[in-house]
Amino acid sequence: MRPLLATPEEIIKENTVLVERAIQYYKSKDWDNLNKTPVMIDQDGNVLSHFGDQTWDVTHYIDVKIVSKKRASFTHLTTISLLQEQKLLAFLGLFAVGTLRQGATIKTTTFLERNLNLTQVYKYIESIKADSICVLNHPIQFSRFCEYLKSLKMSGPYISKLIVALNWIQAVRKQTPIKLSLPLTTSITELGRQLGCPTKLESEQFYAIPSRLMQLIYSKAIEYIDTYYPIRDTLLAIQTEQQDNYEIGKAVVDRKIKTGQWNWLTSNSPHYKAEITKAKPQKPTDILQSYASNIEIKGLIPLKITEFDWLYSHILMCCFLVCGAFSGMRRSELYGLHSDSFKTLKLKEQTFYSLQSMHSKMTPAVPEKAEWLTSPIAGKAIELASALTQNMRIQLMLSDDRLDNERASSIWLVQKLKSRTPNIFTGPPFVKHYQRLVKEAGAIVNEQDYEEFKLLNPNLNIHAYKQKIIVGKPWALTTHQLRRTFAVFGKRYNLLSDVAIKQQYKHIYLPMSQWYSEGGVAAKIKHVKVDSELNNLLQEVDREVTTQLLHQWYNSDDKLFGKKGIDVVKDRENTAVKYSSWDALYAQVSAGRISIAGTLHSYCMAGYECRMEKVVSPTNCFNCENVVIDETKAQAWQKRHQWIVETITEMEQHTKLSQSQLSHFITQLRAAEKVMDYFEISYTPYKPEIEIRQL
């Protein structure tokens, strides 16, 4: 069977029959036939996993360049009924009801994470000797389960994920034999907060790196790239010759085994590797020595094979870091980079650089091609990484395994064991190279870094960061910090707006982009030096302009409109002393008793006490008791009248406006016409054609 991972309709129809059969086997407890049900097949139709297997291999349904988890495990339960129940839920999640969104398909990563979360729940169910997860339907049992979760002292968000997994079972109970109905009395998020450890209630935002540490780390990575970029072909030649040297030795040993010359040895023998080493035509150190002697700068190439392999991976990590640091790409997007990812575009005598990859964070199951603006150094990093992994990519391309063929486009490959095909550079080995780079860069946290860290990262979990960021210790670098740092420093130095971050990061909502850049504005403000003399001068000018405007209103014959404007005109005949002289008005303005806030269409005498919630729509302010409209503002109403008429005309060329849509414009037009009539401004009245429709 094929999981519902963006599959064609005919496959869905094929799966439906087998799903119904599996449910029938489950209901009748026909475990033998149920266990024989195929769960995973490869592209050639070969069965990879059956229902009864302890692990289900989903390797053929993931992007091996991005996803490291490749199997769903069911080794944790000994109770047959519980084991079959969890497997059936996983089975149905893959083939029938994986997602609650209409028409959507489940992602492999979603399936694996949900199964992992349900594993935690099923361990508890087995511990209380129950035979089904439906035991949680009883309020007392569910209460005990909640107490168990609380005793684990896990984070609130993680507990919420466990409840979400249970909520999925409940939501699809009409399509499955497992009729779970949780006695929830509060929201899942709130329940997670109630059951979570008090020190782990908040989801901690990934850290932005303090500026001094960032410069040290990034500079060291760039130094590696600049140093080894000129000799990239030499590094590739060494790696290729080392691999060829191994292949020759292996071929010699395999030939002796095949011809029967060595009956005492097999490919599974513990001595097999040793014999290959003996059969190699050259020693690895001799190969290194031959190339190192031709390099002008001594010491660039280590003379020990283990040190050379470490350096090879270390340079690759630096290339990866630079691409992430100067683009803000996600980890999965970085792993999608290939040898032709760096692009250059010239537009109006300006050159733009970008990285091309695939992203799937906010997309359906199928990744989409996208580009991220970057710096020229990223192009250098891509070229260096491509050169270092050229021979490895050729090996993968020539392989008979389709999974190897998929990995062949990646430039983030390592081959620590020559006997195995190259693999994606990730996991703990990658983290060790991060740690080594930080130490080489001397990125040790000091007091100033610590204070800046708290400024750049306002959404901190106080209990978590104190264990990770310690004064006097190396900075704890992770890949996602590169993304946060890019956004924060872009905002801090006015290089990026919120909209630009949204575009660069492929976000759907602007608040998410603002969340990423939080801390940037605070850091910018802290370093702003206030010119008190200039500030006082600006305030003085503002008071004088306000006073002059008020004096003109109360002591001239100028026309004024609006409720407050008409009141001002009436007061001119009996102007109080405080409004008759310029100095008296200035004193009132300086004391804050009178203020004026200007909008695009009027003045507001309520000043900044008004929340200005309706300022974007002039008609909402039109009848306000604090509005004043003079001849200058009346011109703005005339322009708005013209714009609305043009907008209606243009829209009606494409579609007939409904009465509700038209009424939105008409109210603004009538308000504008009242203003223009009062100020004797000529205009062409708009007469809409009202159509009565029979509903």
**Domains of the chain: which residue ranges?**
9-200, 211-436, 443-526, 529-629, 632-695
Mind giving me the DSSP string for 65-128?
TT----EEE--S---HHHHHHHHHHHHHHHHT-S-SSTT----HHHHHHHHHHHHHHHHHHHHT
Q: Does residue 558 contact residue 631 with C-beta atoms inside 8 Å?
A: yes
Taking 80 as the threshold, does the pLDDT of residue 627 lie above it?
yes
The answer to whether residue 608 scores a pLDDT higher than 60 is no
The sign of the CA dihedral 42, 46, 51, 57 is negative
Tokens 């996983």 belong to residue: 90
pLDDT-derived band at 16 (thresholds 50, 70, 90) equals confident
* % of residues, the chain, pLDDT over 70: 89
Mean pLDDT of the chain: 85
Instruction: Say if CB 77 and CB 126 are below 8 A apart.
Output: yes
Q: What is the pLDDT of residue 365?
A: 55
**pLDDT confidence of 559, banded at 50, 70, 90?**
confident
pLDDT of residue 96: 77
Opening angle at CA 254, ends 251 and 255, nearest 5: 85
Instruction: Specify the range with the lowest mean pLDDT, choosing from 98-107, 205-214, 560-569.
Output: 98-107
How long a stretch of residues is the chain?
695
**C-alpha–C-alpha distance, residues 370 and 652, integer Å:** 36
The confidence band for 246, taking pLDDT boundaries of 50, 70 and 90, is very high
d(CA 312, CA 390): 13
| Whole-number percent of the chain with pLDDT over 90 | 40
pLDDT tops 80 at residue 606: no
pTM given for the model: 0.69
Kindly state the average pLDDT of the residues 57-66.
74
Mean pLDDT across 35-53: 84
Write down the pLDDT at residue 10: 57
pLDDT band, very low/low/confident/very high, at 374 (cuts 50, 70, 90): very high
